[in-house]
Structure 1
Amino acid sequence: MARRLHENQLFSKYAYFIGEGTRKHRLSEDESSMAYSDAVLTVIEHICTDRFEGRSELKTYLFQIFNNKCVDHIRKNTTKKAQVHRTDGFDDRYMNLLPDDTRTAVQQLMQQQDAELLGQRLGQLGDKCRQMLMAWGEGYKDADIAEQMSYQSAAVVKTSRLRCMQKLRELYLNGQA
């Protein structure tokens, strides 16, 4: 219990790094938040395994790891592999060529297919991820989800939710059924 308290304090103390990531690296707030969460977890792991030797201040060490995670994220987004997986969806120009009743039917089929695919992908996630994303999708705030699912705080829910969203994105990108 005390460890979790200290982990939360570490996370909160330098959470302003997230803003640095959005400004300096031009990441979205979600991307910067994920990089920060990963950096905090890495630092905690390094402390527990004695990889952190104390040759620098903890803040400096955390910032350097965070900075590296941001750069990793940028590299991941700019590789040709990432470009191949980007899709723009069905082109509206073609949809507008269809008669109204056909267009409506095609749109309904596309929505149904999208909903079924989302259901399959959510089913591949763990129960906690699925429950969290479903609650968030229904409009619940992170604070409500924290209370409902017995998380420490809304910040922990946000970090967990972003990780779950990343897993969901990867399932879509990898085309796993």
Structure 2
Amino acid sequence: MWFSAQVPSDAQWIEELRAGGTRRRQAENRLYDQYAYLIREGARKHRLDQEQTATAYADALLALIEQVVSGRFEGRSSLKTYLYGLFSNKCVDQIRRKTTNRESVHQGVEIDGALLQLPDESRSVVQQLIAQYDAGQLRQRLRLLGEKCQSMLLAWGDGFSDDDIAQQQGYNSSAVAKTSRLRCLDKLRELYRT
């Protein structure tokens, strides 16, 4: 295991990621932190907001880790170059998702204008019904995500930080908790799209 201040070689990264257990989680955390600057660069280059770029980065990092662990990473490029390629593709996916007609279908109808035309008593009843329906839809979709994602997203929705969530749910760092949370949010978005 390495703890030096220098950047590990690709062989060291691969060894640690394939080791499993605590060594793998530590390597994942360090790898996340090592190239997290890509989030800022991706936001600037692809003109995406911070959350979209962070999601793209987390997805790319998880794909890289999965390919390294499964032995599908062939080493034809450095891990950094490979991660950057995956990240760029994920950013382009975010752009496509944002600009396709499918996305505009799922953005919802502007209902505020219609509500203003109703009398005050009716407006509050309609708003309550909409809120109840939305809450029910959210609860239903959260259940589909599984217990771990559900508890993480509920804690985050209640205002807990990624540090708090990491401590509550046994993650090694807030970076890993954030990556997991972003994956859960992405899965939740997909459930709303389908």
Q: Same fold (TM over 0.5)?
A: yes
Quick one: which amino acid aligns to residue 23 of structure 1?
R
Indicate the residue corresponding to 1:109 in structure 2. Answer: 129
Q: Which runs of 5+ in 2 are unaligned?
A: 1-21
Match of residue 21, structure 1, among 42, 51, 55: 42
Aligned length: 173
Indicate the residue corresponding to 1:43 in structure 2. Answer: 64
Supply the distance in 2 between the matched residues of 1:21 and 1:165 (Cα, whole angstroms): 20
Supply the distance in 2 between the matched residues of 1:134 and 1:49 (Cα, whole angstroms): 32
* Residue correspondence of structure 1 range 52-67 to structure 2 within 5 A: 52-67=73-88
Supply the distance in 2 between the matched residues of 1:148 and 1:164 (Cα, whole angstroms): 17
**In the TM superposition, what is the alpha-carbon distance from 1:51 to its structure 2 partner?**
4.2
After superposition, the C-alpha distances for 1:88-117 in whole angstroms (9 at most, x for unaligned) are 442x22211211111111111111111112
The structure, 1 or 2, with the larger RCO (C-alpha pairs under 8 Å, 6+ apart) is 2
**In the TM superposition, what is the alpha-carbon distance from 1:169 to its structure 2 partner?**
1.5
After superposition, the C-alpha distances for 1:129-177 in whole angstroms (9 at most, x for unaligned) are 1001111111111111110111111111111111111111111221xxx
Q: TM-score, normalised by structure 1?
A: 0.88
Indicate the residue corresponding to 2:141 in structure 1. Answer: 121
Supply the distance in 1 between the matched residues of 2:40 and 2:78 (Cα, whole angstroms): 21
Indicate the residue corresponding to 2:11 in structure 1. Answer: none
Kept in 1: contact 2:26–2:172 (CA 8 A): no
* Residue correspondence of structure 1 range 1-177 to structure 2 within 5 A: 1-90=22-111, 92-174=112-194
**In the TM superposition, what is the alpha-carbon distance from 1:79 to its structure 2 partner?**
2.1
After superposition, the C-alpha distances for 1:24-60 in whole angstroms (9 at most, x for unaligned) are 1111212111111122222223333444444433322
Quick one: which amino acid aligns to residue 17 of structure 1?
L
Q: Which runs of 5+ in 1 are unaligned?
A: none
RMSD, matched Cα: 1.7
